[in-house]
Amino acid sequence: MSLSEKIGRRLFGKIIEAEANRIAAAIPSGGGIDNDEHLYRKLTGNSKKDLSPLKQERMLQIAYHLYENNPLAHRIVEMTKDFIVGEGITYEAADEKVKDVLDAFWCDPVNMWDLKQHQKALELGLYGEQCYAAFVNEHSGAAGLR
């Protein structure tokens, strides 16, 4: 280290360190995408009840295997789906504009809720959770789920 570097560290070291700490605190921790991500916690917390990713993947494989090969497990999942969806979910709206928006969402070629509702309810009963990516078409403003 040169003499000028030593003098610079001695004179400005604390200022540089404080600025570096300020910048580091502004960066989201954990490689997240939101600046305020550190303010949130997992829904389940850090519980010992959580499965490791490998065990969770294995649990999903077993659930599907039982659904496919065990008549009782198959019937339980199908019966739950039938109680939830029945002959199909429908909707009504008093306002015609609201009905138009709902129709556009319901019948959108990506969403296709009239065709996919039974499968989505079955997967919810089989796997216990679902997470859909929501998006808005930048050109038309239509909302969709994938």
- SS3 annotation, the chain: CCHHHHHHHHHHHHHHHHHHHHHHHHCCHHHCCCCCHHHCCCCCCCCCCCCCHHHHHHHHHHHHHHHHHCHHHHHHHHHHHHHHHCCCCCCCCCCHHHHHHHHHHHCCCCCCHHHHHHHHHHHHHHHCCCCCCEEECCCCCCEEEC
In a domain, 46, yes or no: no
Look at 44 and 138; give whichever has higher pLDDT: 138
- Is the distance from CB of 70 to CB of 62 less than 8 angstroms? no
Handedness of CA 116, 121, 122, 126 (dihedral sign): positive
Residue 90 and residue 113 in one domain: yes
- Confidence check: pLDDT of 73 > 60: yes
Look at residue 59 and tell me if it is in a domain. Answer: yes
- Least confident among 14-18, 26-30, 42-46, 96-100: 26-30
* Rounded mean pLDDT, 30-45: 65
Pair 57, 36 in one domain? no
Q: What is the pTM of this model?
A: 0.60
Domain total of the chain: 2
Instruction: Answer yes or no: do 31 and 64 share one domain.
Output: no
Q: Which domain holds residue 135?
A: 51-145
Q: Do 66 and 136 sit in the same domain of this protein?
A: yes
- Does 41 score more than 70 pLDDT? no
Whether residues 35 and 71 share a domain: the answer is no
pLDDT computed for residue 46 by the predictor: 63
Signed CA dihedral, 102, 108, 88, 78: sign only: negative
Shared domain check, 124 and 68 = yes
